Amino acid sequence: MKYYDVLLPIPKSYILTYKSDKTLDKGLRVVVPLGKRNVTGIVYKQSEKSEFDYEIRDIIEILDNKPFFKENDITFLEKLSAYYGYSLGNVFAGIISKKILEISGTDFNQDISTHSKLATLNAEQQKIYEEIIKNNDFNCSLVHGVAGSGKTEIYIEVIKHFIQRNKQVLFIVPEISLTPQLIKRVSDRLGIIVESYHSKLTQKQREKVILGFRDGHIPIIIGARSSLFIPSCDLGLIIIDEEHENSFKQEEAPCYNLRDAAVLKAKIFNIPIILGSATPSLESYYNAKIGKYRYFKLTNKFHGGSDSSLKIIDLKGEDKLSGILSLTLYDAILKRIKNNEQTILFLNRKGYSSQLICQNCGETLFCQNCAVTMTYYKSDETARCHYCGEKLKYLQCKCGSNNFMDFGVGTEKAYLILENLFPGEVIKLDADTITSQKRLNSVLKDFEKNKFKILLGTQLIAKGLNFPNVTLVGILNIDNIFSLPDFRNNERAYQLLTQVAGRAGRFEKNGEVIIQTFNPELPVFGLVNDEKFYEYELNNRQMFSYPPYFKVVRFIFSHIKEHIAKESCKKIEYFTKGLNLDLKILPAVPAPIYKIKNRYRFHLVIKSKNHNDIRKTVKLIKNEVDKLKLSTLNFKIDVDPYFFL
Ligand code: ADP
Ligand code: ZN
Ligand code: ZN
């Protein structure tokens, strides 16, 4: 009898052992009993032990005749586990979805004869292309170019180069950019059917892509985040477009950043990786600056056209229509409507209003389960919590009054105001209206067909959308970005402003960008679309000991009992202070959002220049928390955190 440790999609920190009389290779999929059910897992290794003082159950079925995950795939998971401080079991369960494991069926063949359409790169693109394809080993290239500068064209040529050499390619984009247009564009240019991979595929479609990629019949996948973990046959290149995207950061345990995971994977597989963005993250920019990444800059929009003109409107001074629209922006929109051109308006807040204030006693209505204000939705007259999903129909203040006044403008309210000013011309795009990919595509199509003159949306619209007829972009208000306790505020504002500005005038017509703010004096407004921003912000980061100069880790302790959350956090703070390592330890304090879903939250943030000491600390803290033996304590490790709420 042989004993095997099997990785299972269950969130446990230990790995279970099963037995079989067969010899099983690492990476095979097997079905094993777990309690009363059967689950699919992966053979991790032959167990080190052969005697057990508890019952070892039998492996029921072996699903593959050759390993589903190769050695490298498993090494990749091990490295993620070591870097992010989660056990291998937790990483496996949190990242490799059941959907990937539970595919069945046989693979199929696809004809890879290429009849690609030709495009000739311009001199600037050609030079970058040639540099990138020089090397097949691990190296990371950062391609920095404004929207429309031709990054995607370079990717396509590089992809072609690798596919012609029988290498496979993973092209990963944010879920929102994974549009039929992009798939079609790449398919047409490569002359093959390109498969896409995302969360909304049917199990059958998923099967086709996963097996096809594993067996090498599919040369390329364009996919969302989860495609990084699909097993491959002969992977030769990874591309991450919009590498700076916040949505690449996973906030739930196991917390990890897809971009960084992809670089790790490329290193383990010893293949090149390309990161692309119009507004690279400070981390990637810095890595390029110090020579860790190769740096390529595209300076011009491919189709030319002068840059959009940029106007910053100080909301403190101006008269505002219905409280949200300066006359300057109003006139600019009106002019576009007259010229049969289109406008995109941006507002980073959903719902009707962000606060309800009691008319009787002045208290703000908070969620009962979370320390956050309730957002009002006029459409169904409810107050909702964006953190726990609580939805109140009947609103009552602690003082008994049910007379509230609303404050703050969300997209729902802005929509009504705009509809009133420009009847029949406005379409809204936010997480509340976009309930499916289909719905999203139909909204975008309607706008593209010029059925509406104004598209109003949240940050969803800042991403890769491409409308030739849009000549005006307005940002109704960006100030809530600056109110967060977060060292990335400037970076986020810069990225958002620059990306949104890139939406206007992508083609021949010259665009105009109008930004409304109460804080026009902030330096970032003077640096939109300007690479000088990076020097300015790197300087800030260095001054205040933040990434990329310092590594940061955040530990979050939450518990339904306030004192338990607090004491655990404090204990770990003392423990960490006792370590003789090169660390800056910020005091253990209540998290800015002090309660979510009735759990009280405390956090501890540590920083260091020394990557080794950070790694050691994460390990030691994890052990120390395990020693507390508090099964009801929720403990989260966030290495390279993106949010601090
Ligand atoms: P980005 O990915 O940087 O936003 P794209 O690659 O999408 O830029 O290019 C912007 C536009 O310019 C697209 O319409 C694309 O078809 C066109 N384009 C870019 N490079 C070329 C080229 N070498 N030949 C023809 N058209 C190009
Ligand atoms: Zn009241
Ligand atoms: Zn809540």
Rounded CA gap, 95 and 117, in Å? Answer: 37
Q: Encoding tokens for residue 608?
A: 């260091």
- With vertex at residue 338, the alpha carbon angle to CA 335 and CA 344, rounded to the nearest 5 degrees, is 60
The 8-class DSSP code of residue 517 comes to: E
In a domain? residue 80? yes
**CA-derived radius of gyration, the chain:** 26
Ligand closest to the CA atom of residue 392: 3
- Which residues hold their Cβ within 5 A of ligand 3, which is an ion? 367, 369-370, 385, 387-388, 390
In a domain? residue 184? yes
> Of ligand 1's atoms, which has the minimum distance to the CA of residue 119?
24
CA of 645 to the centre of ligand 2 (A): 27
In a domain? residue 139? yes
**What is this structure's pTM?**
0.90
In a domain? residue 107? no
Q: Specify the residue with its C-alpha closest to ligand 1, atom 23.
A: 121
Last residue of a domain, one of 44, 68, 101: 101
Q: Contact at 8 Å (CB) between 565 and 617?
A: no
CATH number for the domain that contains residue 501: 3.40.50.300
In a domain? residue 493? yes
Rounded CA gap, 458 and 345, in Å? Answer: 9
Rounded CA gap, 284 and 523, in Å? Answer: 22
Q: Specify the residue with its C-alpha closest to ligand 1, atom 10.
A: 148
Predicted confidence at residue 108, as pLDDT, reads: 47
Same domain assignment for residues 176 and 290: yes
Last residue of a domain, one of 298, 332, 366: 298
Nearest to 282 by CA among 475, 486, 81, 79: 486
- Measured CA distances, 58 to 2, 77, 140, 574 (Å): 10, 25, 44, 45
> Of ligand 1's atoms, which has the minimum distance to the CA of residue 122?
23
Same domain assignment for residues 533 and 584: no
CB under 6 Å to ligand 1: residues?
119-122, 125, 145, 147-153, 302-303
CA of 502 to the centre of ligand 1 (A): 14
386-415 burial code (b ≥16 CB/10 A, e <16) = bbbebebeebebeeeeeebebebbbbbbbb
In a domain? residue 392? no
Determine whether 325 is exposed, middle or buried from the number of CB atoms within 10 Å of its CB (0-12, 13-18, 19+): buried
CA of 316 to the centre of ligand 2 (A): 30
Tally of structural domains, the chain:
4
Rounded CA gap, 493 and 491, in Å? Answer: 5
β-pairing, 589-596 with 584-585? unpaired
Determine whether 421 is exposed, middle or buried from the number of CB atoms within 10 Å of its CB (0-12, 13-18, 19+): middle
Rounded CA gap, 109 and 111, in Å? Answer: 7
> Of ligand 1's atoms, which has the minimum distance to the CA of residue 241?
2
Average pLDDT along the chain, 645 residues, taken 10 residues at a time:
92 88 94 92 90 90 91 96 93 81 59 61 94 96 91 96 96 87 91 89 88 93 94 96 94 95 98 96 97 93 71 86 90 94 89 89 91 89 90 90 89 93 92 75 88 88 72 88 88 89 61 90 90 96 96 97 97 96 95 94 96 95 93 95 93
> Of ligand 1's atoms, which has the minimum distance to the CA of residue 147?
4
First and final C-alpha spacing in the chain: 51
Ligand closest to the CA atom of residue 374: 3
Same domain assignment for residues 583 and 443: no
Ligand closest to the CA atom of residue 398: 2
The 8-class DSSP code of residue 68 comes to: S
Mutate to test the pocket of ligand 1, among 152, 179, 184, 499 (most ligand atoms within 8 A of CB): 152
Q: Name the 3-class secondary structure at 453.
A: coil
CA of 125 to the centre of ligand 1 (A): 10
CA of 226 to the centre of ligand 3 (A): 28
Same domain assignment for residues 135 and 255: yes
**Is the bond preceding residue 548 a cis peptide, omega within 30 degrees?**
yes
Q: Specify the residue with its C-alpha closest to ligand 1, atom 14.
A: 148
Same domain assignment for residues 420 and 531: yes
Q: Specify the residue with its C-alpha closest to ligand 1, atom 18.
A: 150
CA of residue 386 relative to chain centroid, distance: 18
CA of 508 to the centre of ligand 1 (A): 13
Q: How much of the chain is helix, strand and coil, in % rounded to 5?
A: 35, 25, 40
In a domain? residue 385? no
CA of 364 to the centre of ligand 2 (A): 8
Same domain assignment for residues 537 and 557: no
CA of 374 to the centre of ligand 3 (A): 8
Q: Contact at 8 Å (CB) between 155 and 210?
A: no
Last residue of a domain, one of 101, 134, 151: 101
Same domain assignment for residues 169 and 282: yes
Q: Specify the residue with its C-alpha closest to ligand 1, atom 25.
A: 119
- Measured CA distances, 413 to 71, 402, 555 (Å): 54, 21, 37
Same domain assignment for residues 244 and 313: no
CATH number for the domain that contains residue 612: 3.30.70.600
Same domain assignment for residues 73 and 187: no
Ligand closest to the CA atom of residue 387: 3
CA of 283 to the centre of ligand 1 (A): 26
Same domain assignment for residues 533 and 562: no
Mutate to test the pocket of ligand 1, among 122, 156, 186, 302 (most ligand atoms within 8 A of CB): 302
Predicted confidence at residue 165, as pLDDT, reads: 95
Structural domain containing residue 207? 123-298
Q: Encoding tokens for residue 581?
A: 């390592």
- Hunting for tokens 């692309």 — which residue is that? 276
Predicted confidence at residue 306, as pLDDT, reads: 60
CATH number for the domain that contains residue 14: 3.40.1440.60
The 8-class DSSP code of residue 588 comes to: P
Q: Contact at 8 Å (CB) between 488 and 645?
A: no
In a domain? residue 380? no
β-pairing, 235-241 with 272-277? parallel
Same domain assignment for residues 223 and 335: no
Same domain assignment for residues 324 and 223: no
Q: Specify the residue with its C-alpha closest to ligand 1, atom 22.
A: 121
Q: Specify the residue with its C-alpha closest to ligand 1, atom 15.
A: 150
